[in-house]
Structure 1
Amino acid sequence: MHEVSLCRQLAAAVTRATGDREVEVVHVDVGELRQVVPEAMRFAWTFVVKDTLLAGARLDLRQLPAVLACRACGTSTRLGPELGFDCRVCGSTDTSLTSGEQFVLTAVDVRTSIPTGDRADRSEAHLGKGDRDGALPSA
């Protein structure tokens, strides 16, 4: 089951990015050609993060379709269950896969604590809920 290996790598990346902050949700985009079984991935995640700083963090997987682009006629179509990478519109074999092979950590939601005395003072850098790729929250 390669989901365990993927979860180990993912947990290591999230831990490096968040340090000792409490992680609530880990967001990952997964292309449908990656052969990741979402239920198996979520199960592997709970097993991998058990007894770590990430314990209790939810794994949010967003499946992305496999999309084929035709260089001959310019159309993009979703790759279907049939075999073959030829264009379904014009029949050309001059195509390329533009989506479907991704495995991307897109965001991490961490719990941020705002001092109760002055909520306007946000001089300390925190990753906030929904902030992407280490971006600082806007003031």
Structure 2
Amino acid sequence: MLNGPAFPETVDLLAALAELDDFWSPRVVARVNDQYVKVAKLRGQLAWHSHKQEDELFYLLKGRLRIEYRDRPAVVLEPGVLHVVPRGVEHNPVAEQECWVVLVETVTTLHTGDVETPLTKTIEQQIG
């Protein structure tokens, strides 16, 4: 487990998102116990992957996000809606247009789960 730097107690999520330039490159903005709160801009698709030991929470602030599943219908998120991907479930986030998302993940959660892609970011990159 990575202790990392001290994070602020108050975060302007929209301002943090406005500072991001790259898609699919989450930025850790806070830590709550053993959970990181991350922000990310998304466009296109990431990769089919799963997180064997951790659930993953997506909370959409802007745009529209579709989370595809292999074994069930896709879930479409609109601003203000959150969705939890259960641990071990293969999924693929897809954003036809730019969207802004807040992620809540256990500190042990790997960015692209059980696969590595050119978009994969280490936790150090996400904190940096």
Larger RCO (CA within 8 A; separation ≥ 6): 2
> Would you say same fold, with TM above 0.5?
no
TM-score, normalised on structure 1? 0.19
Structure with greater helix share of residues: 1
Structure with greater strand share of residues: 2
Q: Over alpha carbons, which structure has the higher Rg?
A: 1
TM-score, normalised on structure 2? 0.20
